[in-house]
Amino acid sequence: MKRALITEINTLEIGEGKDPSPKSNEVIVKVEACGICATDRHIFAGVYPMDFPITLGHEYSGTVVEVGPEVKLLKIGDRVAVDPNVFCGICSFCRLGLVHLCSILTPLGITRPGGFAEYSAVPEQNAYLMPDSMSFEAGGMLEPLACAIRGIQLGDVKLGDATVVLGAGPMGICLIQLLRISGSSKIIVVEPNPVRQKLALDYGADVTVSPDEHLRDFVMEQTKGLGAHVVYEATGNSKVAESTLALVQRGGTVMWFGCCSKFDSIPISPFWVNDAEITIRGSFNNPFSHPIALELVSSGRISVENMVTDRIPLERLLEAMDHKNFPDAIKVTILPGMKSDLFNNRA
């Protein structure tokens, strides 16, 4: 099969690999669509240290073409969306239901071969049936939506809360939609890119603003001088994460949702956090949020398909690993079956 293999930092090879064979509880999925995540780019660039070689890609969907002997529910021909979190089920965290924090988590597309390939071996419990009405591209978007759902759950947004989302990329757009149906009375989106500002408004933001030295004043003006109840950092930029503390109201919650580099650090005033009773929470991955994401998309409550702005063949993955080659893209998606002469088939 054709697959993309990261052999070392900033080195990617497209070539032939051995077709995967299913273990007893696995299915083989023909990958139809796989989104490129910032995490993929960070691993490729060495921002997130990882053992190489590895086939990345954890936002994918496809068709079941082979099943292991102990597979119970899935069959050949089923259309499935993949939850990449492969957990042990027996460690302390798994027993608490925090499977995404599993002590020996081995995610597809991170430590196990993932969706930047024609075929992928997937445990049956990690493959969710998709309705025929859902496109494969939308199926691939269920993974980032599932992560955003976890962020909303941890942020504990209440009816009438004012919220701020910093960053209107794929995660930010998912958060905006979820905040809207969760009852946020005002959604303020901080985003420098005019194209993404417009998209944020289209998906439910009340107001957008570019980040500058007057950002705190703007947020205070929009929230009657109080600040936001919940602030979401969705860029993965440590400087942006630092700015969140100036935007939240006393007694509010800061959600560090974007994945910053493990080498970054920021100054925090313990006095301010204590005196104002600020809650700072991280949100990493998701436990069992895929079924919720699937229901929200299939019911039409959340829209994800139009977030896929660029579709490219596997052969052009290296170009897409540099986001500067797609400056206005929201989500770039790999279509392994796409012919290379149809490169960048923009929606």
The token pair that represents 202 in the structure block: 């289209």
Output the CA angle 99-102-104, nearest 5 degrees.
140
- Who contacts 247 (Cβ-Cβ below 8 Å, separation ≥6)? 164, 215, 216, 219, 227, 228, 231
Residues known to be catalytic: 39, 42
Residue whose pair of structure tokens reads 């949100």 in the numeric block = 283
Taking alpha carbons only, the member of 145, 152, 175 closest to residue 294 is 145
Q: 233 has which bridge partners? A: 166, 256
Which residue blocks in the chain are alpha helix, DSSP H? Answer: 38-45, 92-95, 136-140, 142-155, 170-182, 194-202, 215-222, 238-243, 270-275, 290-298, 317-320
Report yes or no: 183 and 157 within 8 Å, Cβ to Cβ: yes
Taking alpha carbons only, the member of 129, 103, 1, 107 closest to residue 56 is 107
Q: 310 has which bridge partners? A: 332
Q: Is 334 helix (H, G, I), strand (E, B) or coil?
A: strand
- Who contacts 135 (Cβ-Cβ below 8 Å, separation ≥6)? 33, 305
- Cα–Cα distance for residue pair 223/210, rounded to 1 Å: 17
> How many residues are given for the chain?
347
The token pair that represents 137 in the structure block: 């591209």
